[in-house]
Amino acid sequence: MTARSGTSSSSMHTATSFSSSFMNSSPSRQSPNRRSLRPQRESLIRDPYDSPPRQLALEFNLRLSLSDREFNEKLDAAAAERAKQHAQQLAYAAEEHERVFRCAKLEIERIALEEQQARLRYEEAQKREVERLKQEKAREEAEAQRRALEARQREEEAFKQAAERQRKLQEAEARMKAQKEQQVAAERQKKEKEEADRKAAETAATEKARQQHASQQLTPQPTTGLTPAAAPKPSAAQAPAADVEQIHAKYLQLHQRMKQFRNAFWDEHKKSSSPLKGPVGDARRALRTRLGQINVDRKDSAAAINRLRTECFNVALNTPGPMIDIRPYIVSHQIPQLANENEAAYPAFLVYVWICFEKFLIEQFAKEAAHTDGRIIQEIGLIAASLFGDQNYMWKGIPLTDIVLAKLHKACPPLFGIRGTMDTKEGRLRLGWLESSTTETYSQRMRGIGAGYASMSLRSFASKTPAIATSEYWRAIVSICNTPPDQLWPGHFFILNGLIRDYYRKFIQFYGVPARGVLRRAVVDLPVRAPDRCKDAAGIISVLREGWKKENFSLD
């Protein structure tokens, strides 16, 4: 703050207070002699400043006041000088700011110009690159189309050859089976004829002994009536396409018989008076529990198979109980000739275990389809194939695979070439839609059943017959690929996804180059001709090809 000029308040106060205190002092402070010698009036008239100390004090105060004034004037001058310098600095700063602003503006304009020029150069280079890529892509597409056409021609030829080989193989198997059965029948007839001839020879020898003089030996004709062997019926796997609906109807009828038997058997033996109440209930619970405990460890799978055998199938096989005629539960195999009706007997408890097993098996396939890892379904399929291939549970060497096939025909008809529509309730039920199904649960169920079917059919055992023939896997894929576009539905692609996603390499191992052609039809050709209602589901199939390329497997 700038000091004020003039005498300071302290000096003024000092002088004033000094003079006033001296002049206004009381009479008692003055000399008593003077007071006594001079009257009161005279002391008042007399100059109070005639004393030298008083004059010195006044002079000192005067000088002090002048010094304060000079000091304040110097302060004012210094403050004025500083204010002037501050104003000059502000003016300089403003001028410098204006100069920097002009330079920055010019720099921004220069940078913007350079960026514009760089952008123009980049756009020109990009246009040239796009043109080059278009030309290169056109050349690659032309080359790819040429290669694809050649590959398709090779695959079609290989597919035709494979189909022809498959047809011939099936015909040869049918002929061999028929010849074998005819041979067995011929041997049986031969044995019967030999036995009859032996008896006739004995009769003739006896007659000859009685009639020693007879000139001619009488040989009686055998009296045993021989029934010619019946021609073998074609199996369900070898039936022509025209019989698909007829075979499907047979399996649906079998499924209905299984359901009726299961309910009746359970109602009969859940009673406390039944001796099978405990074993039947324990086996049913063990089946559901053991199938739900399967994981990807092969050792655990082997242990699970052993537990299922010991806790369920062996118990059902060895527990005394009622017997039933097993022939109504066989569809795809030729029934052998029987000496009597008792040979058709099969433990009813074991049939009940098989029916419960296939029911829980399909449920577990659908449940495990929710996981991206399909190895658990592979292990479950291995367990099912092993149990169906066990000679201990067969009837005269015939596995009871028709029980699980009947359930598959009911749960997933498109797997066997059944076609229909999803626009009506009856059509949806015909294609495996349940009353409680949603789009999500239906798709998951179809994927799981497709994967489970593949896990059971793409198997080869050294000493066992596969539960489902490998040719049935081929037939399932081809039947879906041959479905007309107007009868294709998303369910077909969900089933196809389950069939091939985790099993394409095994398919190649079994069939080689023809399998590659079938896979190309499934993941390339079929999605292209899919109707609009199937585009999302077909897209899931078409992307499998790209995933296979990452695994070093290409269809080209």
Structure tokens at 403: 């029980």
- Residue 324, classed as helix, strand or coil, is strand
Work out the number of other CB atoms within 10 angstroms of the CB of residue 96: 10
pLDDT for 188 equals 73
pLDDT at 154 over 90: no
Please tell me the predicted confidence (pLDDT) of residue 296. Answer: 81
pLDDT of residue 75: 92
Q: How would residue 212 be classed by pLDDT, with cut points 50, 70 and 90?
A: very low
Residue for token pair 């009859």: 196
pLDDT of 460 higher than 60: yes
165-203 tens-digit pLDDT: 777 777 776 777 777 677 777 777 777 777 676 666 666
Per-residue pLDDT of 478-489, as tens digits, reads 999 999 999 999
The rounded distance, in Å, linking the Cα atoms of 344 and 395 is: 8
Amino acid type, 368: E
First to last CA, the chain: 95
Q: How far is CA 437 from the centre of its chain?
A: 19
In the structure, what pLDDT confidence band is assigned to residue 7 with cuts at 50, 70 and 90?
very low
**Tell me, what's the pLDDT at 47?**
56
Q: Report the percent of the chain where pLDDT is more than 70.
A: 81
Mean pLDDT of the region 395-423: 94
Residue 353 tokens read as: 């275990």
Answering whether pTM is above 0.85, one says no
Lowest model confidence (mean pLDDT) among 22-26, 301-305, 456-460 = 22-26
Weakest mean pLDDT among 215-229, 442-456, 474-488: 215-229
The pLDDT > 90 percentage for the chain reads 50
Q: Quick one: pLDDT band at residue 207, thresholds 50, 70, 90?
A: low
Least Cα distance to 469 among 394, 390, 388, 523 occurs for: 388
pLDDT in tens, 54-99: 888 888 999 899 989 999 999 999 999 999 999 999 999 999 999 9
Torsion sign, CA atoms 73, 75, 78, 80: negative
pLDDT tens digits along 462-472? 667 777 889 99
Judged against a pLDDT cut of 70, whether residue 422 lies above it is answered with yes
- What is the C-alpha separation between 348 and 320, in angstroms, rounded? 10
Rounded mean pLDDT, 265-279? 91
The 10s digit of each residue's pLDDT in 102-131 is 999 999 999 999 999 999 999 999 899 999
Three-state secondary structure of 242-272: HHHHHHHHHHHHHHHHHHHHHHHHHHHHCCC
Q: What is the mean pLDDT of the chain?
A: 81
Q: Is 163's pLDDT higher than 90?
A: no
Calpha distance 401→391 (Å, rounded)? 12
Euclidean distance between CA atoms 363 and 288, whole angstroms: 10
Annotate 84-129 with DSSP letters as a single string.
Answer: HHHHHHHHHHHHHHHHHHHHHHHHHHHHHHHHHHHHHHHHHHHHHH
For residue 9, pLDDT over 50 is answered with no
